[in-house]
Amino acid sequence: MANQPSKRKPRTSTDRPNTLNLQAAGVERLTSRIDQAANSGRGNRHASFRRSYVRMPFRLESVSVRLTHPGGSISDLKLASRNLSSGGISLLHNRFVHLGTPVVVVLPLQDSGSIEVRGVVRRCIHLSTIVHEIGVQFEKKIDARQFMRADKQSAFFSLEKVDPAKVRGCVVLIDPGGLDQKIFRHLLRNTELRIRAVSSTDAALPVVAEGCDLVAADISADGADFPGFMARLRERGLLTPVLAITTDGTAETRARLAEARVNAILAKPLTEGKVLQAVAEFLLCDDKAVTPSAGAGAIADIALVRGFLEELTRYADELTAALRTSDGVKCLALCAQIKGTAPVLGFQGLAELAAAASQSLAATADAQESARPIEDLIVACRRAERSAA
């Protein structure tokens, strides 16, 4: 019998929770020591000046990771994690990993399921004894909020540094106080924003319906009935992101607002940096999604691009209706259509949002559990169509 070429099987880790053999409490103690060393100036400071995204603590006992080593060998491992951002993850390992090593990380969603994220090792630092910190840069930006507790999601903003000159669009500000309106405008004075201020949520509804990129609302405008405003907004099919501004940053208030499907929460007192970071989350992060670029293979036919932009209104309307009826199959089909057409016409960012929504739907098998990425796609479709009007 002729010799058959044997397939190289990936090496797997043992039944230990991770390569450091640390339980959850041990991971917490180790990452706390690393954080303390970094804060005192004794830890690693490499690449901090280049960091674009805010890191959040992401201390998991076991994260499934596949490494493709130089030469082609594959290791399937369980690694402890330290933190996560929209652009990458910090993992803890018991040995050195070469820079440039391709990585697939399986990130557990907060509700159910998981998502595979591809990346590459950008740094590997020997911290102590056998502990190495591996910095992985993702190939594509992720929405880090998917992996956070619901009560924490709305308070997280991913951008670490914001250039005010690049923040542009229309914001509807709901605030009953004239002085607070002036303060808000002052804090955003260096941006390219157009701010339309109203004093109540009733007055805001028709203004939002005319079209805007973000609603910034002081929840004292409607007191305890702010969730009612959110319900009225969504019932009208208005999925514009809402930034809730509040003097009450308690966990109870955050949970109530998160349940009302507020997109983000900003606690007073306001500072220029905090407001910029919050506004840029919606007007800067998604900017490339609504702007066509002449990428490789993109069709530069103006008539075709205009036709696609007109179709985006239909896509947005149908996605909104499908989400309202929890029709995951319809949502998935619409995402596939957008994902297939958008990059051909230069809308790579829009295609990436459609791919993210599709991936979430595949992982959760539930339209409501995938509501956030679907809503992000709907908002981007409407912004892209409006930007060409």
- Confidence class of residue 386 from pLDDT cuts 50, 70 and 90? low
Question: Tens of pLDDT along 119-162?
Answer: 999 999 999 889 999 999 998 878 777 777 655 555 567 777 78
According to DSSP, the residues that pair with 91 across neighbouring strands are 81, 134
Q: Torsion-angle region of residue 371: left (phi > 0), alpha (psi -120 to 50) or beta?
A: alpha
- Are the C-beta atoms of residues 375 and 361 closer than 8 Å to each other? no
pLDDT number for residue 137: 93
DSSP state for residue 53 in the 8-state scheme: B
Question: Tens of pLDDT along 324-351?
Answer: 899 999 999 999 999 999 988 888 888 9
**207 and 99 in a common domain:** no
Say yes or no to pLDDT of 359 above 70.
Answer: yes
Q: Is residue 245 part of a domain?
A: yes
- The CATH number assigned to the domain holding 44 equals 2.40.10
Domain end point (choices 148, 168, 195): 148
**163 and 39 in a common domain:** no
CA 85 to each of CA 7, 44, 143, 158, 288: distance values in angstroms, whole numbers, following the listed order: 36, 17, 8, 7, 19
Rounded to an integer, the average pLDDT of 241-263 is: 84
Out of 2-11, 122-131, 246-255, the most confident range is 122-131
Token look-up 């050195």 returns 96
Look at residues 318, 334, 328, 330 and name the one whose alpha carbon lies nearest to residue 367. 328
**329 and 279 in a common domain:** no
Which structural domain range is residue 52 located in? 11-148
Say yes or no to pLDDT of 189 above 90.
Answer: yes
Number of helices and strands (H, E) in the chain?
11, 13
Q: Is residue 3 part of a domain?
A: no
- Confidence class of residue 303 from pLDDT cuts 50, 70 and 90? confident
**181 and 273 in a common domain:** yes
DSSP state for residue 18 in the 8-state scheme: S
- Confidence class of residue 294 from pLDDT cuts 50, 70 and 90? very low
**294 and 279 in a common domain:** no
Q: Is residue 338 part of a domain?
A: yes
Q: What's the total number of domains in the chain? A: 3
Out of 36-50, 117-131, 277-291, 306-320, the most confident range is 117-131
**309 and 205 in a common domain:** no
Exposure b/e, 270-288, CB count within 10 A at least 16 = b: beeeebbbbbbbbbbbbbb
